[in-house]
């Protein structure tokens, strides 16, 4: 939260500098008006995003933590500002007579009025405005094949707003009917302890009271039913140079077995890491949009995944090399796991049906390394599986 506060303070500081730079320099004038006082009841004319510095596109709604500009008159000398019934911290507000800058508070209101209440020393006004209240975002377990007894993160957003964990807990997290211990909680993750007696192919159930009533979400844990390759196949496969089978140390957080790539790979080379026939069920073939391709991955600390464009690692389904998908987890921001294992989920329809539809029965499935520059790697892959999306 200190990081968020510092961000707001920096933005407000920059706003004040910008506003100061727009004013003419005054040497001496008894009648000089610095615009920091009000003379009557506040008036709100419109609201804009803070990046809309010309105030050209008014807003009628915003999201949590969005920086906005309120324009009008008599907006200085603020005593209180509320979105619905949630107050803005005055330390995060910069207000002049005609403009006020602030973030939308990151808090669920108890009473949704869809109004801003603006109070100064001279009075109060309200203005119709909607704050888009998010539901909890649940991406899944950071590492779905963690061992029973391990502490693992449920990754997503807004966990801290909906009563997970603590003395005021109002939401529940269960595995096979058993409450999971919440170890820690933040905005972007919820750490839980997997029960010592947890079994593969279990489901974690999350229930909370959302804005529009009860919400139920589910997360997979250690789905072995969906594996496309069993241990015997991975162990006995004939791998190319610099690719090997490894028996993992589960006590150290590794999978039971995995494929390790270690060494230098030349630019624009095409190396089949593993290639085989896999079986596509009639359900998957009929509705690939309802399924995910999942796998677990690690990168050593000094060899993260680089922004490989339309190259890097590629998945190939069916028999057509053009029907391939470039997995580039660093296309937006740099991605590396620093030697830890994590789960990756990709929409199956995007990965497997670029130029050809999936068909029932046997099909080729291939993992390739195809870098667009010379690349030194120490990466691991495990537990390739096709899973149905959970609600």
Q: 31, exposed or middle or buried, with CB in 10 Å at 0-12, 13-18, 19+?
A: exposed
Q: Which residues contact 204 (CB under 8 A, 6 or more apart)?
A: 141, 154, 173, 174, 175, 180, 192, 218, 219, 220, 221
The C-alpha atoms of residue 185 and residue 163 are separated, in whole angstroms, by 10
Contact 315, 293 (CB under 8 A): yes
Map out the domains of the chain with their CATH numbers.
2-132 (2.60.40.10), 137-221 (2.60.40.10), 231-388 (2.60.120.260)
Tokens of 346: 């990709």
Task: Check residue 318 and give its pLDDT.
Answer: 80
Place of tokens 């009473």: 111
Cβ atoms 60, 130 nearer than 8 A:
yes
Q: Which residues of 6-24 are buried (b: 16+ CB within 10 A; e: fewer)?
A: eebeebbeebeeeeeeeee
Q: How far, in Å, CA of 182 to CA of 194, rounded?
A: 10
pTM here is: 0.81
- pLDDT at 348 (0 to 100): 95
H/E element, 257: strand 257-265
Per-residue pLDDT at 320: 59
Region at 253 (left for phi over 0; alpha for psi -120 to 50; beta for the rest): left
- Residue 364's contacts (CB-CB under 8 Å, 6 or more residues apart) are 275, 276, 277, 278, 316, 317, 318, 319
Q: Show the low-confidence residues of the chain (pLDDT under 50).
A: 1, 3, 17-28
Q: Tokens for 371, please give them.
A: 């870098």
Question: Other C-beta atoms within 10 Å of 307: how many?
Answer: 14
DSSP run (H or E) holding 365: strand 361-370
φ, ψ at 15 (rounded to 5°):
-60, -45
Q: Sheet of 361-370: strands edge to edge?
A: 271-280, 361-370, 312-317, 324-327
Question: In the structure encoding, which two tokens stand for residue 11, read together?
Answer: 């933005």
Q: What tokens were used for 171?
A: 């939401």
Contact 228, 365 (CB under 8 A): yes
Amino acid 34: pLDDT: 72
Residue 223 is predicted with a pLDDT of 96
Between CA 220 and CA 230 the distance in angstroms is 19
């Amino acid at each position: 939260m200190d990081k968020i506060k510092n961000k707001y303070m920096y933005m407000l500081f920059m706003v004040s500098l910008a506003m100061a730079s727009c004013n003419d320099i005054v040497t001496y004038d008894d009648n000089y008006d610095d615009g920091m006082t009000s003379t009557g009841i506040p008036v709100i004319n419109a609201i804009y995003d803070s990046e809309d510095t010309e105030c050209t596109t008014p807003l009628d709604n915003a999201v949590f933590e969005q920086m906005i500009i309120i324009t009008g008159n008599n907006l200085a000398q603020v005593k209180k500002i509320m979105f619905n019934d949630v107050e803005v911290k005055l330390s995060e507000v910069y207000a002049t007579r005609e403009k006020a800058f602030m973030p939308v508070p990151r808090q669920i209101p108890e009473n949704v009025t869809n109004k801003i209440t603006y109070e100064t020393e001279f009075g109060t006004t309200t203005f119709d405005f909607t704050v888009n209240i998010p539901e909890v975002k649940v991406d899944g377990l950071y590492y779905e094949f963690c061992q029973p007894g391990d502490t693992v993160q449920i990754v997503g957003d807004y966990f801290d707003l909906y009563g997970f964990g603590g003395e005021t807990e109002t939401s529940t997290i269960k595995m096979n009917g058993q409450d999971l211990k919440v170890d820690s909680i933040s905005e972007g993750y919820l750490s839980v302890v997997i029960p010592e007696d947890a079994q593969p192919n279990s489901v974690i159930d999350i229930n909370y009271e959302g804005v529009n009533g009860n919400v139920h979400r589910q997360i997979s844990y250690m789905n072995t039913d969906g594996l496309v390759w069993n241990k015997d196949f991975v162990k006995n496969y004939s791998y190319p140079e610099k690719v090997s089978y490894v028996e993992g140390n589960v006590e150290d957080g590794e999978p039971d077995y995995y494929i390790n790539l270690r060494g230098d790979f030349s630019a624009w080379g095409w190396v089949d890491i593993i290639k085989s026939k896999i079986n596509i069920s009639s359900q998957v073939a009929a509705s690939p949009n309802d399924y995910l391709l999942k796998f677990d991955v690690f990168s050593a600390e000094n060899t993260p995944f680089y922004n490989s464009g339309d190259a890097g690692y590629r998945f190939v389904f069916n028999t057509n090399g053009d029907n391939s998908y470039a997995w580039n987890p660093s296309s937006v921001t740099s991605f590396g796991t620093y030697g830890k294992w994590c789960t990756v989920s990709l929409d199956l329809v995007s990965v497997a049906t670029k130029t050809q539809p999936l068909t029932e029965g046997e099909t080729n499935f291939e993992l390739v390394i195809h870098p667009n520059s010379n690349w030194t790697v120490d990466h691991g892959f495990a537990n390739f599986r096709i899973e149905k999306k959970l609600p």
